[in-house]
């Protein structure tokens, strides 16, 4: 018998891996270098202006939006 509690998130480590960027504890921090690089590429492909001032959460949401628009990442 397993000693893990069925509702224990550690029992299913990937079950909560996708979290809404609005709920990230670090979402208000500046976007990462990787986010900036990818977002700049996506912005170019989508014909949209790149905003280097986005925070992590907003950059993540913009990446999702531009991936849908460009067909990338899906």
What is the DSSP code (8-state) at residue 26? Answer: T
pLDDT in tens, 15-64: 556 788 888 888 899 999 999 999 999 999 999 999 999 999 999 999 99
- pTM of model > 0.85: no
Q: Are 31 and 56 in contact (CB under 8 A)?
A: yes
Structure tokens at 36: 């900036």
pLDDT in tens, 5-25: 556 656 655 555 678 888 888
Q: Domain boundaries in the chain?
A: 30-74
Exposed e or buried b for every residue in 35-65, given b needs 16+ CB within 10 A? bbebbeebbeebeeeeeeebbbbbbbebbee
């Amino acid at each position: 018998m397993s000693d893990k509690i069925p509702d224990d998130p550690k029992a299913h480590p990937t079950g909560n891996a996708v979290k809404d960027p609005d709920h990230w504890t670090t979402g208000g921090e500046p976007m990462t270098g990787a986010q900036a690089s990818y977002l700049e590429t996506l912005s170019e492909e989508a014909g949209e202006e790149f905003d280097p001032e986005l925070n992590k959460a907003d950059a993540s949401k913009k990446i999702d939006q531009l991936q849908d628009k460009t067909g990338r990442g899906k």
